[in-house]
A and B are shown apart, each in its own frame.
Chain A
Amino acid sequence: MPESAAVLEVSGLRKEFGSLVAVADVSFRVLPGRSLAIVGESGSGKTTIARMIVGLERPTRGTITACGRDRSRPARSARDRRRRGGEVQIVFQDPYTSLDPRQTAERAIDEVLRLHHGWPADRRRARIDELAELVGLDARQVRALPRALSGGQRQRVAIARALAAQPQILILDESVAALDVSIQAQVLNLLADIRDETSVSYVLISHDLAVVRQLTDDAIVMHRGQLVERGPTARVLDDPQHPYTKRLRASVPRPGWKPSRRQLAPANLKGEPS
């Protein structure tokens, strides 16, 4: 059953803001336990795709199917909304603005457990402890308000809260971009562990090609709303085909890298969307 096997399927997805086409007829699939990177720069449409998948934007055209159910139209009831929350969750880039400043980590997680599973208090307590251990928060941090936590710790809270709903798909919207390198490595290892233990699929929105390589199996490359290239992450990065992907790859600093204006002059990017 190759068609229905996809945990997330996006087909002919389009979003217009007035006369601006933010996302132009994009299609892709994510298989269970596989992870997809959506690569692109500002204005590429990558974040708009993420917002449409979680239901923060309504598509102009096209369909989004998660776990076999359509979610391209707004939820019709609270029950419907909760069900969707149990399918797809999102972790945003900025852990300083994405958590409720008045809510401790354990209350933030508890709220999700109560809403989504309706478990009694002792079962929720046990699950909070499990999730805290999974993301590496200690007992003090679990009881702390966000302002007492560092950026890396807050991002762990955001991840634990998202996982509390036991989603099949976790969207990571530049979720490690704002972290210090030493903390970013901790969170990337954590995300790899979680995938091994829960078989969740990641959709990673990122401009950082090294992070993309580390965390994903497949990649699509977006440029000005168009999907310009797709393939296994290793192939897209090692042997990019589209001029824009080539330019993106050539822009990454590396030993012996000498940026030159001529070499980077915008190539003809009108080329063939794959």
Chain B
Amino acid sequence: MSAPAAAAAGQPLLDVDGLTVLLPVEGQQREVLRDVSLQIRAGEAVGLVGESGSGKSMTARAIDRLLPKGAQVRGQIRFGGREVTDLAGAELRAFRNKVAMIFQDPRAHVNPVRRIGDFMTEALRTNLGVPAADAQQRAADMLAQVGIDEPARRLRQYPHELSGGMLQRVMIAAALLTEPALLLADEPTTALDVTTQAEVMAILDELRHEYGLAMLFITHDLELAAAICDRTIVMYAGQVVEVRRSELLHSDPLHPYTAALAAARPDIAQQSRRLRAIPGRPLSAFEAPPGECAFAPRCAHAREACLAAVPELVALDGGLSRCVRVTELRGQLEAAHA
């Protein structure tokens, strides 16, 4: 799999710059993403974490050009150095072969009356002109790689004959068939049992390394993102609030929201008398108070300065934080349970 030339030259594989998205909500154009910038290098796994309304799924949909009708998009999305926001037709299909997506609910994304093999080989046959028999063989090989027994028989089955975990493996295999350089994974294990999640994550992790695939892994689970991604991006109210190397996310967070989110989770290793809950509820971009830090109303560290302007992303210690108090709060944020 050859990563695009620009990536080889040290450029990021994916470069999202100042992405702002408005969607029609109750008859009005409302902001759901606000000035989102992020980069993913070839082969890198990046976590994208946030609660409801944070914009994490919208970011992935904007990248793969899957936003609902009526969406307004500003900003740039470059893949392999090439702008993708205006792609159409064959070019858009070719782009989606290189930037594949898997979803939380695989059943909602397959046609229930088409066989697994038909679904899996569609892109190969129609976009890449691979002969049908050849495509079936490749699909069977890929199913074996994601740990599915009797792949040839599975190709003749229908989606309802497979369990949720099995179907999600099929989706991963289908996504890998077009040899993408980037996988957008939108909560792919959230609907699965814990033990199945672990298996699917193991498969994703192995194949990603084997194929040199980059991944944007979207999840509400900070622990899961931190465990399997090189870097993690935390979103709140449609904005990026922190970018951090994953191993530092829990022990040394830069943004008060990241710290609060980690501290709010109960600990499997001990009962605490009280959890450190965050007051209020998560907001969407269009609900956030204008002209100030979006997290300020819920933040234990908010001061007057936080209400004066929307904070910029500040670089610190190899990470980024959208907090005006980032330097003075260094080392004071509640670290999560070890």
| Residues in A lying within 8 Å of B, measured CB to CB | 41-42, 150-152, 180-186, 188-189, 192, 207, 209-211, 213-214, 234, 237-238, 247-248, 250-261, 264
Contact = CB atoms under 8 A, between A and B. Distances in A.
B202 A213 contact: no
Contact of A213 (B196, B198, B206, B269): B269
Contacts of B203: 261
Contact of B195 (A183, A248, A254, A257): A248
Given A255-B226, A261-B203, A264-B199, 14 more contacts: A180-B51, A182-B277, A207-B194, A209-B194, A213-B269, A213-B270, A213-B271, A214-B272, A238-B269, A253-B223, A253-B226, A254-B268, A255-B223, A257-B228
Contacts of B277: 182, 185-186, 188-189
A182 B281 contact: yes
Contacts of A257: 227-228
Given A180-B51, A257-B227, A264-B195, A213 B268 contact: yes
B220 interface: yes
Nearest to A266: B195
B146 to A, nearest CB: 10
Interface string B231-255: 0000000000000000100110000
Give the top 5 A-B pairs by smallest Cβ distance, nearest first. Answer: A214-B266, A185-B277, A251-B198, A259-B202, A41-B193
Contacts of B91: none
B202 A261 contact: yes
Contacts of A250: 198
Contacts of A254: 223, 227, 268
Nearest to B262: A181
Nearest to B165: A42
Interface in B175-222: 193-199, 201-203, 205-206, 220-222
Interface string B274-307: 1111111110000000000000001000000000
9 contacts: A150-B281, A185-B278, A186-B277, A237-B268, A237-B269, A238-B269, A253-B201, A254-B268, A258-B227
Contacts of B265: 181, 185, 210
A152 B53 CA distance: 14
Interface of B: 51-52, 147, 193-199, 201-203, 205-206, 220-224, 226-228, 247, 250-251, 260-261, 264-272, 274-282, 298
Chain A interface helix/strand/loop/mixed = helix
Contacts of B274: 189, 192
Contacts of B52: 151, 180
B147 A261 contact: yes
A255 B260 contact: no
Given A189-B274, A210-B266, A213-B270, A264 B247 contact: no
A252 B193 CA distance: 11
A255 B228 CA distance: 9
Contacts of B282: 180, 182-183
Nearest to B203: A261
A263 to B, nearest CB: 8
A213 B266 contact: yes
Nearest to A250: B198
A259 B197 CA distance: 9
A109 B198 CA distance: 41
A256 B246 CA distance: 10
B223 to A, nearest CB: 5
A189 B205 CA distance: 36
Contacts of A207: 193-194
Contacts of B205: 258-259
B206 A261 contact: yes
B203 to A, nearest CB: 7
A14 to B, nearest CB: 23
B268 A185 contact: no
Contacts of B197: 251
A189 B277 CA distance: 8
A125 B106 CA distance: 47
